[in-house]
Amino acid sequence: MSLLSLITALLLEQLHPLSSRKYLYVWLSGYVEFFQRNFNAGQLKQGRIAWMLAIGGPLVLVIAVHFLLLHAHPIFAWAFSVLVLYLTMGFRQFSHYYTDIHQALRDRQLDRARELLGEWLGKSCSDLSHEEVARVTIEQALLCTHRNVFGVVFWFVVLMMLGLGPVGAILYRLALFLNNRWGTQDEAEFGAFGQFARQAYHFMEWLPLRFTAATFAIVGNFEDTIYCWRTQAESWLDPEAGIILASGAGALGVKLGQTIVQDQQPVFRAELGVGDEADADFMQSAIGLVWRALVFWLFMLLLLTVANLLG
């Protein structure tokens, strides 16, 4: 059921991208704001309680619906899993930016590419060169791919195998959302309220990050991926993101990171990867890397499914 649900959800997203996902984020922002407004006293304890309540309600609801539908007929439970994945997973949540930036660079429309990247990041990119635009775009795509696809798939499959239905996809995306809303806030202003959200997300990311990086090594340049992962990931400001970026850079044979200027201010970043400077051709290579990695995950899930059926 897991494999068929994933394939169906991916096909649905490619054929009919969800155009109204932004409204889900608006609703989710209001939902999370309720707990922040009523529980945030700047203390770790309140943050832990708010996180558990905010996460717990949707998880209980999803599990209950799954078992009710499973009791009615397995096909209903399968359709529900596809719906959950369709709402939480996919490339099309960010791929339109990537595709448009890639095309703009190929057409030598640097100002257009800068504008699109700025919209995507929410920061001015007007000072970036052609190579820097390609570099930052590849970085953002690698991170978004992990968070929107591989992280969701990992927890979906794990909890589906435990018989809990599609709750893993909801758990991961809510943990990511709460970390972005609470865990990344300035502690001087936000207190310790967001500390638990940050810790919980880091715990949930430990295995998926390494599975994604290992997959990049398998489907890309193995030696360079392992080298960059081991020697460069820790130098990134966020070492967890550094694992994805360093392994992706090594797999592609491209240089990422390095100091850039955003919002007219220098942003000092470690150098990641080995090989050549990023350009539009490497952006195309990054797309190939991601799709090979996804096919590899689906193939491994197929083997697990066959082994389960035979065993």
CA distance 15 to 91: 12
CA distance 197 to 204: 11
Q: How many CB atoms lie within 10 A of CB 304?
A: 14
What average pLDDT does this structure show over 87-116? 91
Q: How many CB atoms lie within 10 A of CB 3?
A: 18
Residue type, 181: R
At 292-305, the pLDDT tens digits run 999 999 999 999 88
CA 275-281-287 angle, to 5 degrees, is 95
At 262-283, the pLDDT tens digits run 877 888 999 999 989 999 999 9
At 134-192, the pLDDT tens digits run 999 999 999 999 999 999 999 999 999 999 999 999 999 999 999 999 988 776 667 78
**132: Cβ contacts below 8 Å, ≥ 6 apart:** 258, 260, 278
Phi, psi of 7 (to 5 degrees): -65, -45
Output 24 or 249, whichever has higher pLDDT: 249
Q: How many CB atoms lie within 10 A of CB 26?
A: 10
Residue type, 267: V
Structure confidence at residue 20 (pLDDT): 57
- Compute CA distances 85 → 67, 169, 273, 299, whole Å: 17, 7, 32, 18
CA distance 89 to 12: 11
CA distance 181 to 35: 11
- Evaluate if residue 308 carries a pLDDT over 90: no
CA distance 296 to 150: 11
For residue 283, which of 134, 106, 125 has the smallest C-alpha distance? 134
Which residues are bridge partners to 265 per DSSP? 262
| Unique residue bearing structure tokens 């905010």 | 54
- Evaluate if residue 246 carries a pLDDT over 80: yes
